[in-house]
Amino acid sequence: MEPSFYEFRKIEDAKGNLVAVEGLRDIPFEIKRVYYIFAVTEGARRGFHAHRELQQLLICVHGSCKVLLDDGLTKTVVTLTDPCRGLFVEKMIWREMFDFSPDAVLLVLASEHYNEEDYIRNYNEFLRVCGNKGDLID
């Protein structure tokens, strides 16, 4: 599985930097929800779920973190460090975020409003839905 990234234009001047992200222009979906993760406890892992329909763009706007992406067959780890680069996470991709730097702020742009029914929080269920039963966890 090859991770998909979106690069954003940085506007610089003597006062600082600015990056703008517009839904359906800079990314492939309308933005319906925005949230950010910060002050993550050292060693903590976040995520541990997939979405049936929701798509996301993850941008580490400060610091760094790693993201494990799993499509049920292949696992890939990506390190996010650039506030001008967003990681696209398609539906039906298991994700885990970890190794947050103490100053990390992970911004998440989501294609849908929060809906608990869209989440798959059990890895075995995720594998069954994907049709991959070879790696079920006891």
Kindly list the catalytic residues.
Answer: 49
21 half-sphere exposure, CB direction, 13 A CA radius: 24
Could you tell me how many residues make up the chain? 138
Q: Which residues pair with 46 in a beta bridge?
A: 97
Look-up of token digits 């849908």: 112
Q: Count CB-CB contacts under 10 A for residue 83.
A: 17
Summarize the chain as % helix, strand, coil (round to 5).
Answer: 10, 45, 45
For residue 98, report the phi and psi dihedrals to the nearest 5 degrees. Answer: -155, 180
**H or E element that contains 137:** none
Q: Are 98 and 66 in contact (CB under 8 A)?
A: yes
